Amino acid sequence: MNPTPPYGAVPGGYVPRPRVRFEVIGEAWQLFQQQMGTWIVAALIAGIVLGCVFTPYYVFVFAAAFSKAQAGKQFDPNAGGGQLIQIGFNLLIMIVSNLLLGGMYRMALKQIRGEAISPADIFTVVDVFGSLIAAAILVPIAMYIGLILCCFPAFIVMGLLMLTVPLVVDRRMGAIEAMSTSWSLLKSEWLMATLFYVVISIISGLGIVALCVGILFTYPLLPLSIALIYRDFTAGGPGPYAPPPGAYPTPPGAYPTAGGYPPPPAPGGYPPPPGAPMAEPAPGTYPPPPPPPGEQPTAPSPPPPAGAPPLDITQHDTGS
């Protein structure tokens, strides 16, 4: 199978450099509106699954705190192995969240390609289960290293690695390969990628303000917007993609980017260039020319009967 050409590529022509565009947030909102009910149900299912993970831990913590308070003692969540429990719980939350997010990325990519989507798509990442778990562990570690250096590098790391999960679910890459590929694709746009990731993270979380119900409307914008960025930088893997109108204008004098050259103006192709000799037409292509004025047209000779010997024209040569 031939590799998919870069987004906007024209064979033998101009290949525009992809860039991080904030306009994709508006495109993501339009995609969300087209399948609003499907995305709301998918976000609701993801929230219920996460709630089932959160609830047992907080019930345990509340029960332990209440028991300590009844005994007149102060509750310390880090005592008696509590810190290990917290680390394990946080790790479980990261893994489950990344699995659900991977399903939503796959769902977003399907919609961008024009395929039918359903809320069940968030559970279709079994084929990349291990890579998503590895990414759920390695990406936060990379972010934590950036956090140790300074706060801003942590945001840079998250911006440059935001294509990791789409690469895993769409190209079925391993976690490390996907992280390296995402970094390489976005490093020339590191500032815009960082700002974009911060902005879309804030927008996707704004729904919490509206009694948490609004998150069903805002959170899907995160996978949809980043999936559109992924499309711009990789052509989205297998499958055709239509470039957004005006996203990459063709520079003056470039080859046409769509449709190619027009078809020949008439049957027979284009006329030859000036001064070029005219090619002889193939026998039978054109009818014989009309006779001069005053002459009768000569009827064509009938074909010789089958099995007749060839005619020897030397017998009729008067000059011999």
The answer, yes or no, to whether residue 163 has pLDDT greater than 70, is yes
Residue 268: per-residue pLDDT:
56
Distance CA 4, CA 234 (A): 8
Q: Are 214 and 208 in contact (CB under 8 A)?
A: yes
| Average pLDDT over every residue of 209-233 | 91
- pLDDT confidence tier of residue 129, bands split at 50, 70 and 90: very high
Quote the number of domains for the chain: 1
At residue 64, does pLDDT exceed 70? yes
Q: Is residue 77 part of a domain?
A: yes
| Range with the poorest average pLDDT among 61-65, 236-240, 241-245 | 236-240
308 in a domain, yes or no? no
Quick one: pLDDT at residue 73? 78
Average confidence score pLDDT of the chain: 79
Name, of 5-9, 226-230, 295-299, 307-311, the range with top average pLDDT: 226-230
pLDDT score recorded for residue 288: 66
Map tokens 């995160």 to a residue: 222
Give me the half-sphere count of Cα atoms (radius 13 Å) on the Cβ side of residue 74: 2
Which residue would you say has higher pLDDT here, 76 or 250? 76
Residue 239: per-residue pLDDT: 37
Q: What is the mean pLDDT of residues 304-316?
A: 56
Whether 249 is covered by a domain: the verdict is: no
Q: 87 and 130 in contact (C-beta within 8 Å)?
A: no
Residue 240 lies in a domain: no
Give the range of the structural domain holding residue 126, as residue numbers without chain letter: 23-234
Give the pLDDT band (50/70/90) at residue 284.
low
Is the pLDDT at 26 greater than 70, yes or no? Answer: yes
User: Would you state the pLDDT for residue 201?
Assistant: 95
pLDDT for position 293: 73
Is residue 1, in this structure, part of any structural domain at all? no
- 260 has pLDDT over 80: no
> Binning pLDDT at 50, 70 and 90, where does residue 110 land?
very high
- The maximal CA–CA distance of the chain, rounded, in angstroms, is 141
Q: Is residue 261 part of a domain?
A: no
Is 9 a member of any domain?
Answer: no
pLDDT band at 235 (very low <50, low <70, confident <90, very high): confident
Sequence-separated (6 or more) residues with CB below 8 Å from residue 286: none
Question: Is a pLDDT exceeding 90 seen at residue 118?
Answer: yes
Q: Is residue 189 part of a domain?
A: yes
Task: State the average pLDDT over residues 211-240.
Answer: 83
